[in-house]
Structure 1
Amino acid sequence: MKKLVIISIFFIFISCNSKEKKKTEAQDETTLKANFDFLIGEWFRTNDEEGKATFESWKKSNDSTYLGHGFTIKGKDTIWQERVVLSPVKGEWYFQVKSPNDSISTDFKLTGYTDISFVCENQQNEFPKLIQYRKNGNDKLHAEISADTTKIDFEFQKK
């Protein structure tokens, strides 16, 4: 009788574990299939400082990897630029930012998304701690970077 109880408990445990694993796999699959195609294209900033022009370019390199390149020009000089990879890492999406002088990226974990927006966070980073993107209509994109009480808005128009 004791063996029967132990065997029953073992099978119940295995069954519960299997259901939890399937649930986690389904969540991972949903997360990996997130769609950020609204980023794709060439964008120019419409609320830039006088004398500056900022641009972002986004393309999709495969089913789950988006590559971004942002840069600002003042006169004929590029005064700022960064490369971004938005992709899943070990089942979770990250917005990985790297400037030309950086040896490693600064990573922001995706904490929320819809069909037309997403939010990424890295509370360990000095600035920004939060990055948000949101599509506005067919040809506008709003980005915001923030930390504590400081916030910078980027309004983009599709080229």
Structure 2
Amino acid sequence: MKGTFILLTSILVLSCNQNTKTNQDENSETESNTKIKTEITENLDWLTGNWKRRNEEAGKETFENWEKISPNEYSGIGFSMQKGDTISQEKMDIIQTNGKWTLFVKMPNEKQATTFEMTELKNNEFTCSNDSIDFPKKIRYWIEGDKMKAKISNDEMEIPFEFEKVK
């Protein structure tokens, strides 16, 4: 009987220690997730500023201007000019809702924005996707040295962009 009591007491103590360790692990994981979300928000700050496309065709100039609205929202405008006239323009917003980032792209003649879910987010890089449209299905942005690069693509084609910061 005494041996059974010691055995049951040992199991109970080990069980309590395991629960405490599990709770500590869960708390540590929650703190880690919070830290990651904060770092991810900060990682989008590299996008901010005024950028000019370097690999544009002759006679055209393309720009993107990005600003941080809040820790959960970035807003951008992209436009191309030819002979001093704006020939294309798009409004872009990256918004975090319920821990998920979404890119919204809207042309002036569209009633609502096209949405792209952020499918990958690394340090100084992200990829957004929308498989329900023909082109682009993917939009990728990243920093390479002092350049910002982007690529829009689908399964058949891709268009690369290389930007430098305008001072």
- State the superposition RMSD in angstroms: 2.2
Q: How many residues align?
A: 140
After the TM superposition, which residues 1-159 of structure 1 pair with which residues of structure 2 at under 5 Å, given as runs? 30-31=36-37, 34=40, 35-137=43-145, 139-159=146-166
Deviations 1:91-134 (A, max 9, x none): 31001101111111100000111111000000001110000001
**Aligned partners of 2:98, 2:63: CA distance in 1, in Å?**
30
Q: Which runs of 5+ in 2 are unaligned?
A: 1-22
Q: Give TM-score scaled by structure 2 length.
A: 0.76
* Rg comparison, structure with higher value: 2
Q: Give TM-score scaled by structure 1 length.
A: 0.79
Alignment check: 8 A CA contact 1:28 1:92 kept: no
Shift of 1:24: 8.6
**Aligned partners of 2:105, 2:116: CA distance in 1, in Å?**
8
3-state SS, counterpart of residue 110 of structure 2: coil
Deviations 1:50-79 (A, max 9, x none): 110000001001111111110000112111
Alignment check: 8 A CA contact 1:108 1:122 kept: yes
Q: Which runs of 5+ in 1 are unaligned?
A: 1-18
Greater helix fraction, Structure 1 or Structure 2: 2
**Aligned partners of 2:38, 2:120: CA distance in 1, in Å?**
13
Shift of 1:29: 7.6
